[in-house]
């Protein structure tokens, strides 16, 4: 067996997206040879998108004879394939949904070469030397409940040019019986779970992602995030992302003994459970944060790196949830303010008051920007699809910041009512005679959105389509 010694660690892209060939340094002398078959730190430094590959199982297929042929099998996990001894001709066919479905790549592998095979790409090989050991790391445990996709080795569309004719080699009866490409059901993408699917943001996410088979929408009745059985509630390795749109948002009620317990359960305990599931299964966790994590005393907009200093129970629970999510290897913390969507909210309340002839008093010393749920949902989708680095992203409307008083007057104007009917009042005066606990509000809720471009819903468009529907 001839092995190329002394190669530098390098990567080569292939016509199949995500299928990457690696040249491995092999060091040899009279005693034999040595290689670092998998070295996460060095491979990560080359720019390969493998640092969070997270293998959990190592398999070896030993083949006695030349011509042993196996595959084509596409599995619901990623594989890192190499040859321990011997040499193979490998063929890979993209069996995932999408434009590259049916794309083929072939090459030879010896101990100085490896290949990363993404989930859903069919893997097959033919041995070119006796006593060939084909080894692969996978990032999920084998399961009979997993979804597999197969392709016939002799498929005419793939037209793989096997070095040794298939009629002359050892193939299992099962591999011979696999379907042709025209009959293959493509492997769907990993699932995305949306929690809190009936809330304002949850409904916007439904509209953004649609009713696709790879999107799952869950309410509290469907999935109890605080249940001891959460770890086994789903086959979590089948999920690429969890969008946590569930939260306790009764800001003032959170200041009561019962509300405090419920707020911590929903915004911290449940988030910690999701974070654990995400970390253990390589899932991206998207978590929605709030301007209430700040005390509102800053002179200027809050950036994504400003330290938190919540004033009330609700803000404290959101800040705690943020800290937990930040520990998940793959995460996005989407920080918003003044959320407006399909449901009960400030804008719809003001429009209703105007229609009913009620002249409201509205606080004029709290400043921020509206965040429309349609914009938040679109930004979340873009974060997941573009794979931006993990971290905090501020997502609100753009333009000059304003007060609740100014927004109320604009709602009246756009609704055909006299904005002078709205009068301003300080926060202290507004809550002076409150009969129930009131949460302290940040006076400055302005978030710096210079790092994320969003498609902005206007207040006028929102009122046309949502305010009185």
Averaged pLDDT for residues 37-63: 81
Shared domain for 161 and 138, answered yes or no, is yes
- The 10s digit of each residue's pLDDT in 63-81 is 999 999 998 999 999 999 9
Q: In this structure, are 172 and 200 located in the same domain?
A: no
Measuring CA to CA, how many Å separate 390 from each of 246, 284, 323? 20, 9, 13
What is the set of active-site residues?
73, 136
pLDDT surpassing 60 at residue 388: yes
Mean pLDDT of 29-49: 82
| pLDDT tens-digit readout, 222-231 | 898 888 889 8
Q: Spell out the SS3 assignment of the chain.
A: CCCCCCCCCEEEECCCCCCEEEECCEEEECCEEEECCCCHHHHHHCCCCCCCCCCCEEEEEEECCCCCEEEEEECCCCEEEEEEECCEEEEEEECECCCCCCCEEEEEECCCEEEEECCCEEEEEEECCCCEEEEEEECCCCCCCCCCEECCCCCCCCCCCCCCCHHHCCCCHHHHCCCCHHHCCCECCCEEEEECCCCHHHHHHHHHHCCCCCEEEECCCCCCCCCCCHHHCCCHHHEEEEEECCCCCCCCHHHCHHHHHHHHHHHHHHHHHHHHHHHHHCCEEEEEEEHHHCCCCCCCCECCCCCCCCCCHHHHHHHHHHHHHCCCCCEEEEEECCEECCCCCHHHHHHHHHHCCCCCEEECCCEECCEEHHHHHHHHHHHHHHCCCCEEEECCCCCCCEEHHHHHHHHHHHCCCCHHHCEEECHHHHCCCCCCCCCCCCCECCECCCCCCCCCCCHHHHHHHHHCC
**Position 333 in a domain:** yes
pTM for the model stands at 0.88
The CATH number covering residue 216 comes to: 3.40.50.720
Are 213 and 178 in a shared domain?
Answer: no
pLDDT at 391: 94
What is the per-residue pLDDT for 469?
A: 45
363-393 burial string, b = 16+ CB within 10 Å, else e?
bbbbbbbbbbbbbbbbbbbebbeeeeebebb
Structural domain contains residue 205? yes
Residue 467 has pLDDT above 60, yes or no: no
Q: What is the mean pLDDT of residues 340-350?
A: 91
The pLDDT tens digits for 95-132 are 999 999 999 999 999 999 999 999 999 999 999 999 99
Whether 277 and 346 share a structural domain: yes
Count of domains in the chain? Answer: 2
In a domain, 284, yes or no: yes
pLDDT score of 460: 87
Q: Is 294 a member of any domain?
A: yes
Q: How many other CB atoms are there within 10 angstroms of residue 54's CB atom?
A: 17
> Using one digit for the tens of pLDDT, what is the confidence trace for 9-33?
888 999 999 999 999 999 988 888 8
- Poorest-confidence range of 19-33, 267-281, 313-327? 19-33
- 170 and 214 fall within a common domain: no
With a cut of 70, say whether residue 47 has pLDDT above it. Answer: no
User: Could you read off the pLDDT of 395-453 as tens digits, one per residue?
Assistant: 998 888 999 999 999 999 999 999 999 999 999 999 998 888 999 999 999 999 876 65
Q: Residue 45 — very low, low, confident or very high, per pLDDT cuts 50/70/90?
A: confident
In this structure, the answer to whether residues 326 and 367 fall within a common structural domain is yes
pLDDT of res. 142? 85
Share of the chain above pLDDT 90, in %: 76
114 - beta bridge partners?
22, 82
Give the per-residue pLDDT at 454: 64
Residue 4 lies in a domain: no
- Which residue, of 183, 206, 236, is where some domain finishes? 183
- In this structure, the answer to whether residues 146 and 219 fall within a common structural domain is no
- Mean predicted lDDT score pLDDT of the chain: 92
Among 163, 183, 203, identify where a domain stops: 183
Query: For position 166, which CATH number holds?
Result: 2.60.120.10
pLDDT, residue 70, reads 94
pLDDT > 70: percent of the chain: 96
- How many angstroms separate the CA atoms of 45 and 91, rounded? 27
**For position 49, what pLDDT does the model report?**
61
Q: Are 134 and 175 contained in the same domain?
A: yes
2 in any annotated domain: no
- Per the model's pLDDT, the better-predicted residue between 166 and 43 turns out to be 166
Same domain, 214 and 173: no
Considering 183, 204, 236, which residue would you say is the last residue of a domain? 183
Judge whether 134 and 78 are in contact, CB under 8 Å.
no
For residue 39, which of 28, 27, 25 has the smallest C-alpha distance?
A: 25
- 5 falls within a domain: no
Please indicate, yes or no, whether residues 215 and 268 belong to a single structural domain of this protein. yes
337 and 269 inside one domain: yes
Q: What is the mean pLDDT of residues 191-204?
A: 95
Cα 222 to chain centroid distance, Å, stands at: 20
pLDDT tens digits along 127-154: 999 999 999 999 888 888 788 999 999 9
**pLDDT recorded at residue 308:** 97
Q: Is pLDDT at 455 greater than 70 in this prediction?
A: no
Q: Which domain holds residue 24?
A: 10-183
The verdict on residue 66 lying in a domain is yes
Mean predicted confidence (pLDDT) in 91-95: 97
CA–CA gap between residue 307 and residue 235 (Å, rounded):
36
Clarify whether residues 60 and 88 are in a common domain. Answer: yes
């Amino acid at each position: 067996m001839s092995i190329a010694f002394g190669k530098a660690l390098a990567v080569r892209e292939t016509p199949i997206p995500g299928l990457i060939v690696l040249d491995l340094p092999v060091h040899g002398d009279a005693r034999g040879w040595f290689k670092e078959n998998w070295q996460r730190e060095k491979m990560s430094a080359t720019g390969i998108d493998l640092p969070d590959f997270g293998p959990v199982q190592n398999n070896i297929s030993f083949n006695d004879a030349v011509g042993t042929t196996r595959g084509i099998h596409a599995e619901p996990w990623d594989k890192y394939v190499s040859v321990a001894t011997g040499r193979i001709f490998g063929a890979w066919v993209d069996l995932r949904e999408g434009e590259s479905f049916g794309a083929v790549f072939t090459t030879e592998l010896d101990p100085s070469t490896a290949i990363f095979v993404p989930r859903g790409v069919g893997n097959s090989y033919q041995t070119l030397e006796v006593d060939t050991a084909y080894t692969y790391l996978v990032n999920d445990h084998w399961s009979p409940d997993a979804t597999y996709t197969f392709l016939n080795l002799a498929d005419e569309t793939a037209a793989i040019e096997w070095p040794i004719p298939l009629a002359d080699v050892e193939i299992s009866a099962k591999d011979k019986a696999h379907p042709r490409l025209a009959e293959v059901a493509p492997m769907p993408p990993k699932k995305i779970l949306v929690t809190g699917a009936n809330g304002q943001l949850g409904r916007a996410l439904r509209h953004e992602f649609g009713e696709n088979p790879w999107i799952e929408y869950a309410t509290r009745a469907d999935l109890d995030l605080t249940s001891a059985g959460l770890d086994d509630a789903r086959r979590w390795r089948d999920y690429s992302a969890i969008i946590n749109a569930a939260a306790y948002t009764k800001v003032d009620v959170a200041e009561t003994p019962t509300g405090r317990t419920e707020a911590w359960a929903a915004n911290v305990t449940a988030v910690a459970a999701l974070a654990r599931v995400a970390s253990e299964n390589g899932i991206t966790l998207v978590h929605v944060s709030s301007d209430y994590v700040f005390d509102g005393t800053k002179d200027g907009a809050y950036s994504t790196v400003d330290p938190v200093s919540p004033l009330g129970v609700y803000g404290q629970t959101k800040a705690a949830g943020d800290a937990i999510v930040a520990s998940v290897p793959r995460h996005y913390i989407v920080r918003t303010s003044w959320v407006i969507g399909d449901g009960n909210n400030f804008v719809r309340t003001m429009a209703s008051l105007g229609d009913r002839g009620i002249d409201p008093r509205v606080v004029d010393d709290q400043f921020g920007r509206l965040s429309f749920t349609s914009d938040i949902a679109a930004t979340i989708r873009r974060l997941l699809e573009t794979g931006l680095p993990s971290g905090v992203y501020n997502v609100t409307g753009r333009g000059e910041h304003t007060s609740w008083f100014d927004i109320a007057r604009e709602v009246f104007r756009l609704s055909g009512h006299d904005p002078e009917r709205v009068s301003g009042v300080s926060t202290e005066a507004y809550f002076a005679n409150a009969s129930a606990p009131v949460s302290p509000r940040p006076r400055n809720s302005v978030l710096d959105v210079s790092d994320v471009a969003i498609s902005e819903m206007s207040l006028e468009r929102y009122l046309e389509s949502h305010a009185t529907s």
